[in-house]
Amino acid sequence: MTFRKWLILFLIFSLAGCATVKEDWENAQKEDSASGYAEFLMKHSESEFEKDAVLAFGKFKDPKAVEPLILALKDEYGDGRWRAAKALGKIGPPAVEPLILVLKDEDKEVRLIAARALGEIKDTRAVEPLILALKDEDGNVRKSVVEALGKIGSPAVEALIAALKDKDWSVRRWAAWALGKFKDPKAAGPLIAVLKDENWDVRWNAVGALGNIGSPAVEPLIAALNDKDEKVRMSAVWALGKIGSPAVEPLIAALKNADKDIHRYAAEALGKIKDPKAAEALIAEEQRQKREKTVRFCEAWSQLRSGMSYSQVVALGINLWFDVPQLDGKSHSYDMGHMYLEFGGDGRLEKYNTRVAC
């Protein structure tokens, strides 16, 4: 037999096989039953319709479908595992254990759909594995995990509270973050205790969570304004601002904080709170700053006119609110609209003309 005849026979049998697969798939769709899709998968496990059959298989919520779907979770392609995980989610409680295993799949999309599926099933067996999955490197997966825990409800909150004491700081961190999403008042006490955690990231997330919970957290958040970490202090100001009117007094006090960033965040937070006390405090602070600037400027101005050089005035810690003159042995002049200054090569004021009254 010539090569050409062999090729023709091969193509004929191949096309016949394709027709059989397609016909079987159409028949399975017409029958639309768990047994029909199972039979198709057994006959054509590697066909182009396999993934669609796997997804369709799950809608019947038949425990018998779990085993073939577990096998489909080992598909070499992420898309096949994704469909299998989604189908398992539709089956319900019998699929919980396999889905828990899929939370460690190498494909982030598969882990994501597994978390969502566990959330739909709402089985408490998934709580602990989901809490561990809060450490997932992918942000979308972590978000799906929190959503799943939220659907499971109260048992998840209790488990997250317990996770605040986990020896792994990243578990404590994500547990605090997740509790903030739930906004459950019973988490306030445990989160307040976490404000003493040795890890700043854990404290930072606890502060944010307390801000979401609301007024019960005002006092501990005031204490957090003195945290040794700058990020935690600024987060505390943000959290107090989110709480609103109950936090006005501590935010007003924060306006006097020596930390410029805390001062700025406190002012911004008060500006967002529609409370007369907040408005009065901001107006008073603006006036105080103007007075302070005037006093310090006049002090510096007096020293410059008395013959002290620019660098000597700066050395006294007096802020002049204009650029440092270039000390290169040449004269330099500065025209700022409200004043004209001319410095000699030694940095001493030689000429000036100003409308500023001191």
Question: Does residue 127 fall inside a structural domain?
Answer: yes
**What is the chain's pLDDT, residue by residue, as a tens digit (358 residues)?**
553 443 333 333 343 344 587 887 777 778 777 667 666 666 665 666 766 766 666 666 666 667 767 666 666 666 667 777 777 777 888 889 988 988 998 888 888 888 988 988 899 999 999 989 988 989 888 888 888 888 888 888 888 898 898 888 888 888 898 898 888 889 999 999 999 999 999 999 999 999 998 888 888 888 888 888 989 988 888 888 888 888 888 888 877 777 777 777 778 778 777 778 877 877 777 777 766 766 666 776 677 777 777 666 655 555 555 555 555 556 666 565 556 667 776 767 766 666 656 6
Q: Which of 152, 183, 218 is the last residue of a domain?
A: 152
Q: Domain end: 152, 173, 200, which one?
A: 152
Whether 6 is covered by a domain: the verdict is: no
How far is Cα 221 from Cα 186, in angstroms, rounded to an integer? 17
Place of tokens 């799949």: 105
Domain membership of residue 208 (yes or no) is no
Domains of the chain: total: 2
Q: How far is CA 92 from CA 88, 229, 276, in A?
A: 7, 46, 54
Beta-ladder partners of 341:
334, 352
Model confidence, pTM: 0.55
Would 15 be classed as within a structural domain? Answer: no
Domain boundary among 129, 152, 175: 152
User: pLDDT tens digits for 138-195?
Assistant: 988 888 888 888 888 888 888 889 889 888 888 888 889 889 888 888 999 999 999 9
Which range of residues forms the domain containing residue 86? Answer: 25-152
- The DSSP line for 26-56 is HHHHHH-SHHHHHHHHHH-TTSTTHHHHHHH
Indicate which CATH number applies to the domain containing 38: 1.25.10.10
Q: Please check whether residue 70 lies inside any domain of the structure.
A: yes
Taking the C-alpha atoms of residue 114 and residue 84, their distance in angstroms, rounded to an integer, is 9
Of 105, 154, 157, 161, residue with least CA distance to 133 = 105
